[in-house]
Amino acid sequence: MTGASGNSGRQSLRVAILAATEQLAAAGVPSPQVDAEELAAHLLAVPRTKLGLHPLIDQHTADAYRALVDRRSAREPLQHLTGLATIGRATVRVGPGVFIPRVETELVVEAALDAIAEVDSPVVVDLCTGSGVIALAIAAARPDAGVHAVERSPGALAWARRNADLHVSSGGTPIDLRGGDITDERLLADLDGTADLVTANPPYVPDGTPVDPEVADHDPAEAVFAGPDGLDVIRPLISVAAGLLRPGGFLAIEHDASQGESVPALLAARRVLDQVAEHVDLAGRPRFVTARRVRLATAANRD
């Protein structure tokens, strides 16, 4: 990476970003310019939109920037370098041992918040919470909600606890984090039939699917892969979610783009669920499914 130097040793940030963009593109990074700008913004502790306020950087900053760009070129995830990921109103800390929240999940959070817009003090359960980002995005938008979240991996749970603590220290309402497997019947028994909303972004990638180096080398495998068809976690999760929901309660599950038929079919097969709807992401790919627990239990739909 090169930069225009003056007598003061200060260099052009614009030139440094251009060089970084080229380096990241050559390394196969999918959004090289965005990442080059994000890394500069992180280093200068300013929003990306304010980089223009820093036309020149000193030698120390230029060296630090080069080091970050080298790590990103080696396909270390951008969010591990900045330490942060944002979904909706939640910015969470992330790093080794926890899944990095993806922009697609924003859509799940929006649908979930719409569904509880008219519900006072809603009860919310986020299954497979990872960093806690969905639970915290809902808690931030709806301070009146009682938010519960479950995570099995001790490493990910530690990140979720840290994020939940930061949420409280910045004035947010506490969430209830539970460590364990969502299929452990004792873990959520007290919430059976009470949830106005259940959300989940579980592991759903079919085993053996080729993934980018950022995923293969840095996301925990148990957060990504879920059996030959990617449904090993979603199948039992649907039963767990159906048991948690109150009549009329809303369910949103993110899934793989290849599961736009299989996951809705699994939901539609449950008599206790109706209004099954599939949703696409900004690129038009099937991304998440929603449903409601039927309002009236009849002999035909009691389970």
Residues that bind ligand SAM (CB under 6 A): 99, 101, 105, 128-131, 133-134, 150-153, 156, 181-183, 201-203, 222-223, 233
Q: For residues 65 and 288, which CB has a smaller minimum distance to ligand SAM in the complex?
A: 288
Question: Nearest 10 degrees: CA dihedral of 6, 10, 13, 19?
Answer: 70
Rounded to the nearest whole angstrom, what is the least distance from the CB of residue 181 to ligand SAM in the complex?
A: 4
Q: For residues 97 and 274, which CB has a smaller minimum distance to ligand SAM in the complex?
A: 97
Considering only CA atoms, which of 112, 36, 118 is closest in space to residue 290? 112
Rounded to the nearest whole angstrom, what is the least distance from the CB of residue 188 to ligand SAM in the complex?
A: 11
Q: For residues 24 and 241, which CB has a smaller minimum distance to ligand SAM in the complex?
A: 241
Rounded to the nearest whole angstrom, what is the least distance from the CB of residue 57 to ligand SAM in the complex?
A: 33
Rounded to the nearest whole angstrom, what is the least distance from the CB of residue 301 to ligand SAM in the complex?
A: 26
Q: For residues 152 and 287, which CB has a smaller minimum distance to ligand SAM in the complex?
A: 152
Which residue is closest to ligand SAM by CB?
A: 130
**Cα–Cα distance, 92 to 67 (Å, whole number):** 24
- In whole angstroms, how far apart are CA 150 and each of 63, 121, 134, 154, 187? 41, 20, 11, 11, 9
Q: For residues 38 and 106, which CB has a smaller minimum distance to ligand SAM in the complex?
A: 106
Angle formed by the axes of helices 13-26 and 59-73, nearest 10°: 20
Report CA torsion sign: 289, 293, 298, 302.
positive
